[in-house]
Amino acid sequence: MATYKLKTPISEEDVRKLKVNDVIYITGTMFTARDSAHKRALDYYKQDKKMPINPQGLAVFHCGPIVKKENTKWTIVAAGPTTSTRMDLFEDEFIKNYKVRVVIGKGGMGKKTTDAMKKYGAVYGAFTGGAAILAARAVKNVKSVEWFDLGMPEALWILEVEDFGPLAVAIDSHGNNLFEDIRKKVEENRPKIYEKLGI
Amino acid sequence: MTNQNIVENVAVKLLQLAVTELPQDVKEALQNAYRQEESKAGKTQLKAILNNIELAEKTRTPMCQDTGVIIFYLKAGAQVKGLNKIEEALRNATKRATKEVPLRPNAVNPFTQKNTGDNTGRFIPFIHWEIVPGNDIEITVFPKGGGCENVCALGMLRPGEGVKGLKKFVVDTIIKAGAKPCPPNIIGVAVGGGADIAMKLAKETLLRPLNQSNPDPKLAKLEKELHEAANSTGIGPMGLGGKFTVLGVHVEYAERHPASYPAAVAVQCWAARRASARIHPDGTVEYLTHKRPK
Q: Model confidence over B9-42: pLDDT tens digits?
A: 999 999 999 999 999 999 999 999 999 999 988 9
**CA dist., res. B288 & res. B128, Å (int):** 18
Q: Find residue B281's DSSP bridge partners.
A: none
Tell me the per-residue pLDDT of B254-283, one tens digit each, with 9 for 90 and over.
999 999 999 999 999 999 999 999 999 999
A152·B114 Cβ contact <8 A: no
Three-state secondary-structure class, residue B101: coil
Which chain A residue's Cα is nearest to B62? A78
Active-site pick, A15, A34, A38, A164? A38
Average pLDDT over residues B65-81: 96
A126·B238 Cβ contact <8 A: yes
Q: Which 8-state DSSP code applies to residue B70? A: -
A169, A21 contact by CB (below 8 A): yes
**What pLDDT does residue B2 have?**
66
Strand-pair category, B185-191 with B246-253: parallel
- Structural domains of chain A, count: 1
Nearest chain B Cα distance for residue A78, angstroms:
5
Q: What is the mean pLDDT of chain A?
A: 96
Asked if A178 reaches chain B (Cβ–Cβ under 8 Å), the answer is: yes
**What pLDDT does residue B248 have?**
98
**What pLDDT does residue B3 have?**
83
By Cβ distance, the residue of A36, A134, A179 closest to B52 is: A134
By Cβ distance, the residue of A68, A137, A196 closest to B102 is: A68
Rg (CA), chain A: 17
A85·B56 Cβ contact <8 A: no
Tell me the per-residue pLDDT of A88-125, one tens digit each, with 9 for 90 and over.
999 999 999 999 999 999 999 999 999 999 999 999 99
Closest CA to A199 of B229, B8, B129, B118: B229
A100, A59 contact by CB (below 8 A): yes
A171, A178 contact by CB (below 8 A): yes
Q: At B182, phi and psi to the nearest 5?
A: 55, 65
A189, B237 contact by CB (below 8 A): no
Tell me the per-residue pLDDT of A64-96, one tens digit each, with 9 for 90 and over.
999 999 899 999 999 999 999 999 999 999 999
B178 to chain A: which residues are within 8 Å by CB? 107, 179, 182-183, 186
Q: Is A38 part of the annotated catalytic residue set?
A: yes
**CA dist., res. B251 & res. B119, Å (int):** 30
Specify the length of chain B in residues: 294
Reply yes or no on whether the pLDDT at B192 is more than 70: yes
B139, B7 contact by CB (below 8 A): yes
**What pLDDT does residue B291 have?**
82
A1 — pLDDT class (breaks 50, 70, 90): confident
**What pLDDT does residue B293 have?**
55
Asked if B48 reaches chain A (Cβ–Cβ under 8 Å), the answer is: yes
Closest CA to A16 of A119, A122, A168: A122
Average pLDDT over residues B51-61: 96
Q: What is the mean pLDDT of chain B?
A: 96
**CA dist., res. B268 & res. B152, Å (int):** 9
**What pLDDT does residue A20 have?**
95
By Cβ distance, the residue of A83, A189, A196 closest to B234 is: A189
Nearest chain B Cα distance for residue A88, angstroms:
13
Average pLDDT over residues B108-134: 97
Q: Which 8-state DSSP code applies to residue A86? A: G
Asked if B175 reaches chain A (Cβ–Cβ under 8 Å), the answer is: yes
What pTM was estimated for this model as a whole?
0.93
Average pLDDT over residues B201-219: 97
A146, A49 contact by CB (below 8 A): no
B173-200 as b/e, with b when 16 or more CB fall inside 10 Å? bbbebbbbbbbbbbbbbbbbbeeebbbb
For the domain that residue A97 is a member of, what is the CATH number?
A: 3.20.130.10
Boundaries of domain holding A71? 3-197
B111, B27 contact by CB (below 8 A): no
Average pLDDT over residues B110-132: 97
Tell me the per-residue pLDDT of B138-185, one tens digit each, with 9 for 90 and over.
999 999 999 999 999 999 999 999 999 999 999 999 999 999 999 999
Average pLDDT over residues A129-141: 95
Asked if B225 reaches chain A (Cβ–Cβ under 8 Å), the answer is: yes
A186·B229 Cβ contact <8 A: no
